[in-house]
Amino acid sequence: MIDHCLRILRFSYQELKSQFQIQTFLIFNLAFGIFGFLVLQIFQNSLILQTQLKAQETLTADFSISTRRILNQTEIQKIESDFTFLQKSETKSFFAMAANGTKTRLVRVIAIDSKYPLYGTYKFKNNAGFSNQQKIWIDRDLFLPLALSENSKIKLGQVDFEIADTVVTDPTLVFRPGGFAPVVYISLDQLDKTQLIQSGSTISHQFFYKTQTPESATAAQKKLSFDIKDTTIKFETATQDAQGSNQILKYFTDYLGLVSLVALGLCFLCGGYLLRWMFIDQKKNIAIYKTLGLQNSDVVQIQIVKNTLISFFAFMIAALTAIAVLPLLQNLILKYNLPIQLDFSPQNFWLTMVISLFVPQMISFPLMIEMVQLSPRELFQSQIIQTRKNNIFWVWLLVSLFSFWAVTVFQSQSFKTGSVFTFGLIILYFVFKILLFFVLKMLNTLLMRFSWMNRYALLGLIRKRQATDLVFITMSLAILVLCLLPHIKSSIIEEIKPTSTSEIPKLFLFDIQPDQQQNLQTITQNQIQQNLIFTPLVRSRILKLNNENYERFESTGNFSTREQDDEARFRNRGVNLTYKSKLSASEKVISGTWNENKFVQNSENQIMPEISLEEKYAKRIGAKMNDVMTFDIQGLQIEGIVTSIRQIRWTSFQPNFFIVFQAGVLEDAPQVFLSSVANIKPNDIDTYQSAVVKNNPNISIVNLQQTVDSALVFIDQMSFALQTMAYLSMVVGLFVFIVLLNTQARDRLTEMNLLQILGLPNRKVIQVVQRQFLFLVSLALMSGLILSLFSAWLIAQVIFNIGVTFDFISMLRICVVLLPISYLGIYFGLRPLNQLTPNDLIRNQ
C-alpha cells in the first residue's frame, strides 16, 4: 500500500515537474480566483460575527418589543406577564424638524428613559453621558446644517433644548450606514412638552429588556410570537435585530460575492483549459505508461494527486496573500466607518480550502474519463483519436452547472438573485459564442479580400475555435462586468439626482394634520408663492386577500432564505392607503378602468368600493383584477375590489401609493396628509422650512437634495468596492489571456518554425500571431463594451425600472487602460516565439 502511494506520488511529481511552467500558470490562475473568494468570505463572516458579537449593543438589550403605535400601560403589562426579565427600558422614536434660528433640519428623535441603554456604550465628545434629563444629545453631523456651536439651543417642537453633549459613537447605528436623518436623543420625560406626537404621527414605540440569559430572550420571543397574533407588534431578540440591522451591508456583500464568483468562474474556466492542454500534451506519455502496465485507476489517482497538489499550492498562495493584504483592507473599511474587525477564521480557511480542492477535481472529471478511455493503440496511429462526448460528460456538465448555481444562491443568499445570475451568465456565454460564430463566419467569406498575413492570422482564429472561444468569452465577460457597474451606477445617480429644472420635488412634507392644511397653504403662498396639493394617508393593515389570511406569523423567526424573510416582513408591515378621483401625471392605468366617481354606500350599481393597485405591488402580493381585499383601518374592516392596475413612475418622486381607494370611502378615516414642493430656490429652503416648523412643529420636512447626497456617498462607497472586485475579474481575464497566448505560442512553435523555413522572417512570423490576438482582443473589447450597454439598459429597465444613463467616460477610461495592457500581454505572452528554432524540425525528428 505504502509502495503504491509512493509510486503514485512519484509519477505525480514527475508529471508536475515536466510541465513546470504551465503548472505554475495554473496555480497562479487558481490563486487569483480563490483570493477574491476568500477575501469576500472573510468580509462576510466577519460582518456576521461582529453583528452577533455586538447584537446586544446594537439593540441595547437582549429582547425588544416594538410597535408603530403607542402601547398603553395595560397592553404592555399584559405582554410582560408572559415572560421574566431583569431590567427594562423604553424609547419612542420619530422624525421631526430640529431648528436653530432660521436653520432647520430633519432629525430622528429618540426619546429615552433613564435606564437606556441596557447594553452598549455611547461615546460622547465631552463624556457627559445620558445624565442630564433636561438637555439633549445630538449627532455630530447636525452641527454644520444647523450652524450650531457648543452653547446653541435646538428647538424641537415647542421646546428650546440646550445641548448636553455630542454623540461621537452610537452603538445602535454601527451597521446602519447611509441614514439620511441625524439622531437627536431627548429624555422621555421631555417628550410631551414638545407636543411633537399627534394623532397619525409616524412613531415607533419600543421596550427593551435585559433577560437572565440570551436563551431566555429567545424563549420569550418564541412564546410571545406564538401567543400574541398581532402583526403590529414585533418581538425581536438581539440576534434577530442584528440580522436585520446589517441588511444593507448584507445585500452589498452578497452582490460583491457574486462579482467575485465571476472572477472565480473565469479562473476555473481557464483552469479547465490548462488542464486539457496539459492532458493533450501528456496523452502520449499516458499511453506509454499504460503500455508499460499502469492501471486505469493509477492514471486517475495520479491526476487526482496532481490536482490536489496544484489546488493546495494555489490555496496557500491565495491565503497568504489574503493575510498580507488584510491590514490594508482593514484600513479601507475603517475609512468608511464600518466597525468590522476582519478576522481570518478557521471557517473561512476550511470552506475556501474545500472549494479550492474540490472544484479542480470536478473540472478534470471529463479528462479523467478520457484518460480511462485512452487506448495505448494510439501510439501506433499517426492520427489523434478524438474521444466523443458520452452521457457521463453531459451528466457532469449538468452537475457542474447545478453546483455553480448552488454556490451563487449560497453567496447571494437568494434563490432569485442566484438563479438570475447563473442563467444570466449562461445566456451571456451563448450570446458571446453566437456573436463570435457570426463574426468569424462573415470573416471567412471575406477572407480572400485580406492580405496574406491577415488572412493567415484570421484563419488561425476561424479554425482553432476552442482557444478563440475561450479568449473571446473570457475577455468579453470580464470587460462586460467591468463596464456594467459604472453604467448602473450612473443610471441610479441620474435618476435620484434632483435637477433645478425638473419637476422632481425638492421638499417633502409629511405628518400634516388635517387642521394644519390651511396654515401651511398660507405660509407656502406667502413664502414661495405656490399652492400645495395635499395627499391623504390612511394607515391600515391588509387582513385578507380573497378571504385568505394575508399576514404571516413566524413561529421561530428564522427563515432559510432572504426571500422568505423579506416576504414575512413585507406582509406584516402594514400599508398606507390614499384615496383620490384623478390620476396624477406620474401614473397610468395599464389594466382595468379608473373610477373617478365617488363611492355611494348601499348603491345598486356598486356593491363594494373600487381599489387600484400598483403593477409590481399587485404581482408581489399575488392580487389581480376583481380580487377582493379586506383592510383593517383603526379596528374597522373595509373591503374593496381591484378594478385597475397602475404603472407608476416612481422616479418622479411624487407622493404615490401602492393602493388607492375610490373616493368616498376613506374620507372619514383617521388620516394625515403629505405634500411636496417642487419649485423652490436652494436659498429659499432654509427660510421656508423655518417658517413651516415655527408654526407647525410636528410636520417633518425631507430635503431631497440632502437625502440624495447621503445616498450618493453610500453608493460611491459601495460601487468602489464592487468596482474593485470587478477589476479582480479583469485581472483574471487578462491572466487567462496571457496564459492562453503562452500555450498557443507553445502549441504553434512547429507551425511557426515551418513558416520561417518557408521563408517568412521571424518578425513577420510573430506579427501573424500578434495580429491574430490583437484582432481577437479588440473584438472582445468591442463586444464587451456593446453588450455592457445593452445589459445596463436591460437591468435599468427591467430590474430597477429606471431610464439608463451610460457612463461613456468610464468606458473610454477602461479602453484606454485595457488596450495597452492587452497589447503588452500579447507581447509578453508570445515571448516563446522569439526563440524560434526552425532547425528543430529537422533535428528533433
Partner 1 sequence: MSIQIHNLSKSYSLNNEKLMILKNLNAEIQTGEIVAVVGSSGSGKSTLLSLLSGLDPADSGEININGKNILHLSPKEMISFRAQNIGIIFQQFHLVSHLTAFENVALPLDILNRPYTPEDILNALDLVGLKPRSAHKPSELSGGESQRLAIARALITKPQLLLADEPSGNLDSETGKKVMDLFFQQVRRQKTTTVLVTHDMNLAEQCDRKLILQKGQFLI
The nearer residue to partner 1, 346 or 759, going by C-beta atoms, is: 759
User: How is residue 446 annotated by DSSP?
Assistant: H
Region of 247-255, 380-388, 598-606, 616-624 interacting with partner 1 (CB under 8 A): 380-388
- For residues 62 to 101, the per-residue mask of contacts with partner 1, x marking binding by CB under 8 A and - elsewhere, is ----------------------------------------
- For residues 738 to 767, the per-residue mask of contacts with partner 1, x marking binding by CB under 8 A and - elsewhere, is ------------xx--xxxxxxxx------
Q: Does 842 bind partner 1 (CB under 8 A)?
A: yes
- For residues 699 to 738, the per-residue mask of contacts with partner 1, x marking binding by CB under 8 A and - elsewhere, is ----------------------------------------
Backbone angles phi, psi at 142, to 5 degrees: -85, -15
Is 587 strand, coil or helix? strand
The nearer residue to partner 1, 418 or 460, going by C-beta atoms, is: 460
Q: Does 283 bind partner 1 (CB under 8 A)?
A: no
The nearer residue to partner 1, 752 or 818, going by C-beta atoms, is: 752
The nearer residue to partner 1, 84 or 839, going by C-beta atoms, is: 839
Shortest reach from residue 432's CB to partner 1, in Å: 22
The nearer residue to partner 1, 63 or 773, going by C-beta atoms, is: 773
Q: With contact defined as beta carbons under 8 Å apart, do 98 and 156 qualify? A: yes
Q: Which of 709, 722, 723 is nearest to 810 (CA)?
A: 723
Q: With contact defined as beta carbons under 8 Å apart, do 103 and 690 qualify? A: yes
Shortest reach from residue 755's CB to partner 1, in Å: 7
Shortest reach from residue 762's CB to partner 1, in Å: 8
The nearer residue to partner 1, 456 or 793, going by C-beta atoms, is: 456
Shortest reach from residue 769's CB to partner 1, in Å: 13
DSSP for 73-114, written as a single string: HHHHHHHHTTS--SEEEEEEEEEEEEEETTEEEEEEEEEE-T
User: How is residue 165 annotated by DSSP?
Assistant: E
Q: Does 835 bind partner 1 (CB under 8 A)?
A: no
Q: What nine digits make up the cell of 781?
A: 473589447
User: How is residue 635 annotated by DSSP?
Assistant: T
Count of positions on this chain that bind partner 1 (CB under 8 A): 26
Listed in sequence order, the DSSP H helices in 447-582 are 452-463, 465-496, 517-528, 562-572
Shortest reach from residue 429's CB to partner 1, in Å: 24
The nearer residue to partner 1, 324 or 448, going by C-beta atoms, is: 448
Shortest reach from residue 454's CB to partner 1, in Å: 11
- For residues 621 to 650, the per-residue mask of contacts with partner 1, x marking binding by CB under 8 A and - elsewhere, is ------------------------------
Distance CA 289, CA 32 (A): 33
Distance CA 183, CA 702 (A): 14
Shortest reach from residue 764's CB to partner 1, in Å: 9
Shortest reach from residue 836's CB to partner 1, in Å: 11
Region of 205-213, 260-268, 382-390, 540-548 interacting with partner 1 (CB under 8 A): 382-390
User: How is residue 598 annotated by DSSP?
Assistant: P
Shortest reach from residue 651's CB to partner 1, in Å: 53
Q: With contact defined as beta carbons under 8 Å apart, do 140 and 168 qualify? A: yes
> According to CB under 8 A, which one of 149, 383, 531, 560 is a site residue for partner 1?
383
Q: Which of 200, 219, 196 is nearest to 84 (CA)?
A: 219
Distance CA 743, CA 766 (A): 15
Shortest reach from residue 838's CB to partner 1, in Å: 5
Q: With contact defined as beta carbons under 8 Å apart, do 487 and 807 qualify? A: yes
The nearer residue to partner 1, 717 or 756, going by C-beta atoms, is: 756
245-261 in b/e burial notation, b at 16+ Cβ within 10 A?
bbeebbbbbbbbbbbbb
Distance CA 137, CA 630 (A): 44
The nearer residue to partner 1, 373 or 750, going by C-beta atoms, is: 750
Cα angle, residue 214 at apex, residues 85 and 413 outer, rounded to 5°:
135
Shortest reach from residue 296's CB to partner 1, in Å: 26
DSSP for 207-261, written as a single string: EEEE-SSHHHHHHHHHHHHHH---TTEEEEEHHHHHHHHTHHHHHHHHHHHHHHH
Shortest reach from residue 464's CB to partner 1, in Å: 6
Distance CA 154, CA 693 (A): 12
Q: Does 292 bind partner 1 (CB under 8 A)?
A: no
Amino acid at 644: S
Element housing 187 (H / E) = strand 183-187
**Is the peptide bond between 117 and the residue preceding it cis, with omega within 30 degrees of 0?**
yes
The nearer residue to partner 1, 106 or 755, going by C-beta atoms, is: 755
Q: What nine digits make up the cell of 610?
A: 373600487
- For residues 437 to 466, the per-residue mask of contacts with partner 1, x marking binding by CB under 8 A and - elsewhere, is ---------------x--xx--xx--xx--
Q: Does 838 bind partner 1 (CB under 8 A)?
A: yes
- For residues 151 to 170, the per-residue mask of contacts with partner 1, x marking binding by CB under 8 A and - elsewhere, is --------------------
Shortest reach from residue 291's CB to partner 1, in Å: 20
Is 42 strand, coil or helix? helix
Q: Does 384 bind partner 1 (CB under 8 A)?
A: yes
Shortest reach from residue 452's CB to partner 1, in Å: 4
Tell me the angle at which helices 762-794 and 465-496 cross, rounded to the nearest 10 degrees. 40
Q: Would you state the torsion angle of the CA atoms of residues 683, 689, 690, 693, taken in this order, to the nearest 10 degrees?
A: 180
Shortest reach from residue 448's CB to partner 1, in Å: 10
Q: Which of 255, 214, 223 is nearest to 52 (CA)?
A: 214
The nearer residue to partner 1, 455 or 569, going by C-beta atoms, is: 455
Number of H helices, E strands in the chain: 24, 21
Those residues with Cβ within 8 angstroms of residue 817's Cβ, 6 or more apart along the chain or in another chain: none
Shortest reach from residue 844's CB to partner 1, in Å: 9
Distance CA 560, CA 409 (A): 12
Shortest reach from residue 456's CB to partner 1, in Å: 7
Distance CA 65, CA 237 (A): 9
The nearer residue to partner 1, 136 or 458, going by C-beta atoms, is: 458
The nearer residue to partner 1, 357 or 754, going by C-beta atoms, is: 754
- For residues 329 to 368, the per-residue mask of contacts with partner 1, x marking binding by CB under 8 A and - elsewhere, is ----------------------------------------
The nearer residue to partner 1, 383 or 518, going by C-beta atoms, is: 383
- For residues 599 to 618, the per-residue mask of contacts with partner 1, x marking binding by CB under 8 A and - elsewhere, is --------------------
Q: With contact defined as beta carbons under 8 Å apart, do 102 and 683 qualify? A: no
Q: Does 518 bind partner 1 (CB under 8 A)?
A: no
Distance CA 769, CA 339 (A): 52
The nearer residue to partner 1, 383 or 529, going by C-beta atoms, is: 383
Q: What nine digits make up the cell of 152?
A: 446653541
The nearer residue to partner 1, 335 or 449, going by C-beta atoms, is: 449
The nearer residue to partner 1, 380 or 438, going by C-beta atoms, is: 380
Q: With contact defined as beta carbons under 8 Å apart, do 253 and 340 qualify? A: no
Sites of contact with partner 1 (CB under 8 A): 382-384, 452, 455-456, 459-460, 463-464, 750-751, 754-761, 838-839, 841-843, 845
